[in-house]
Structures are given as C-alpha cells and as structure tokens.
Amino acid sequence: MKRIAILTSGGDAPGMNAHIRAVVRTGLARGLEVIGVVGGYEGLMEGNFRNLERKDTVNIVSQGGTILKTSRSEVFLSKEGRAKGAKNLKDNNIDGLIACGGDGTLKGAHALFKEHGIRIVGTPGTIDNDLYGTYYTIGFDTACNTAAEAIDRVRDTADSHGRVFIVEVMGRHEGHIAMEVGISCGAEYISVPEAVTNLEILYEKYTQLGFHNRTIIVIGEGGGKYKGAYELAEALKTEYNIDAKCAVLGHIQRGGSPTVRDRTLASHLGLSAVDALLAGKTNVLVGRVHHNITYTPFPETWTKRKELQPYMFDLAELLA
Ligand code: F6P
C-alpha cells in the first residue's frame, strides 16, 4: 500500500480536522502518500483530490469544521455516481480510502466496497453519536458541551422570569445528545425518541414538585411522539394551558473548537484507521469501545442499534 485517501462526508463534526491531521501524520510516518478528497463523495465523483503534507495539518487540531469540506451527495446514492468515484480512486492509484462520517457515509462506503472492491474503512464522524460499533463518535462531546452551555444560559432567564422553556437539540434519529445534555443541565424533563413522552408525568412534576418557576425541558429533534420543541409546546398549551418558550439550538451545535475528548478520540481513530488499512482491513468501521479499537462490519453499524444506557433513564427520572 503506497497511497491512501481520506474524505469527510455528511454533517461536519468538531474533531474532523484533528482526525485528518492524525491520518496525514500517521500515513506519512508509515511511509505512505496521503491524498485529501475535497467535498466528500461529491469531490470523489469529481476527482477533486489534493496531496496532503504535514504542513497542511499545522494548527488545525483545534479548528471546527473540516478543511476537506463535506457534502450530502444525492448522486452518490446511484450506482453510476459510485462508479465514477471508484474510477477516480483507481485512476489516481489510491490503494485505500478512509471515509469519516455518519450512517449515510458508511452506507456509501459499503456500496463502494461491494460494487468495486475498494479497500475502505470508515471512521465515526457525527455529532449524533448514533452509530453502533463505537462508544462515542467524533463531535458528540463538543456538541453536547455547546448545547449544555446554551442551556445553562437559558436556565438563567427561565429562572429570572419563572418561565417554562423547551430546548430542542440535534440528533436526527436518536436521543443521545438530548439525554446526555438534559442530565448534565439538570433538565426537569427529557424527551427522546427512545421513550414515550408522557405529558401527564411532565405535568405532575410541574405541579407537585413546584419547580414551575424555572422549568427546562430538553427535547431531541429526532421524533418520538412530539416532533420538536414547537409541537411539544403546542401540546402543553392545549392540554394544560402552559405557555412554554421554545429555543431550537440547531447548527450552532455543529460548530466550534472541539473539546479535548473529541480531539484525542479523533486522533486515536485517525492513527488506527491508517493502521487498519495497512493491516488489510476493509469494509469495517474503526471505532473505540472503552479504550479498545474495534472493527465493526459496515452493515452492523446501521442494522444494530446503539441503545441509550438504562442508567441514563434512571438519572433523567430520579434527578429531575
Ligand atoms: O447528522 C448530524 C446532524 O447535525 C443531525 O443532528 C441533523 O439532523 C442533521 O445533521 C442536519 O443536517 P443538515 O445540516 O444537512 O441540515
């Protein structure tokens, strides 16, 4: 193996730059050439490749976003699109590819492997933390810290005015961010797609515990009975005549300098992804469970579910 490539795809996640840096530096240390694919799978299909040297990775470890840019490519969902991408890899003599992203990225990587025999490993880059095969994904910790800081601020104004706030956090399908952030901000109620949002319980707490002067409800955007903050606010108004203010945190959770945890995770996974390619691994997600590097066949990362830990539900209920 002489030349490897790396791309970032799907929603960007803080720590992707630390990951690229680790891939480049490990690759060079192992005597490889490292190519950056600019613009995710779109860039792969366009042949938008650039050589990455050590100097390209100076001072990026602390930067949010991704220097390689990213995309959500519709065209890459087609066989024709993937054939173009595979041809560009072969024409550029690339022996192995590292694809960093979420479930869509890993599905694309699996198809590239199956249809064209591309040697490819994936790394978990998404704030959502919804991939089976790794305890944490790159970006999750930063997104949670960003959301927690915002909610602490909302708490001040909720407290001052005696208001109910519903804060909506990201997490397309699963409630990892909502649960983690809700617990760490002492939310009075956490609504996640993994559990039924019970308005009666919420109301009971609101009245009996007397915390209605400063109520924070954290809801994951990812569905469940109420799809987002505004829908839940409407239900509270209709059912119990409670006026709740909504704050949708949105994309601010995706930006900013990565936390130390994200930087070290991203670095560890970068080094390990290069070594996985060199060891002949392919069609797997390179993840980390506790402190061990794991290799999970791509399909398992979306067919198996990373469940929220039961203790989290206990914390959410008992400590609210
Ligand atoms: O996949 C990460 C994520 O931020 C999700 O939490 C969110 O639902 C989605 O991306 C938003 O995607 P986009 O930036 O394409 O609107």
pLDDT digits (tens, 9 = 90+) for 132-184: 999 999 999 999 999 999 999 999 999 989 899 999 999 999 999 999 999 99
Measure 253 CA to ligand 1 centroid, in angstroms: 10
Q: What does the pLDDT read at residue 211?
A: 55
Pairing relation of β-strands 49-52 and 33-37?
A: antiparallel
pTM to 2 decimal places: 0.97
Residue 63 has which token pair? 């930067």
Whether 254 and 11 have beta carbons less than 8 Å apart is answered as yes
Question: What percent of the chain stands above pLDDT 70?
Answer: 98
The residue whose C-alpha atom lies closest to atom 13 belonging to ligand 1 is 11
Among residues 56, 91, 95, 128, which one is catalytic? 128
Q: What does the pLDDT read at residue 299?
A: 98
CB-defined site of ligand 1, < 6 Å? 10-11, 72, 102, 126-128, 170-172, 221, 254
Measure 276 CA to ligand 1 centroid, in angstroms: 28
Answer with the residue of higher pLDDT: 110 or 213.
Answer: 110
Q: What does the pLDDT read at residue 274?
A: 99
Measure 128 CA to ligand 1 centroid, in angstroms: 8
**DSSP 8-state symbol, 283:** S
Quote the CA–CA distance of 277 and 307 in Å, as a whole number.
Answer: 29
Pairing relation of β-strands 164-169 and 215-220?
A: parallel
pLDDT digits (tens, 9 = 90+) for 86-109: 999 999 999 999 999 999 999 999
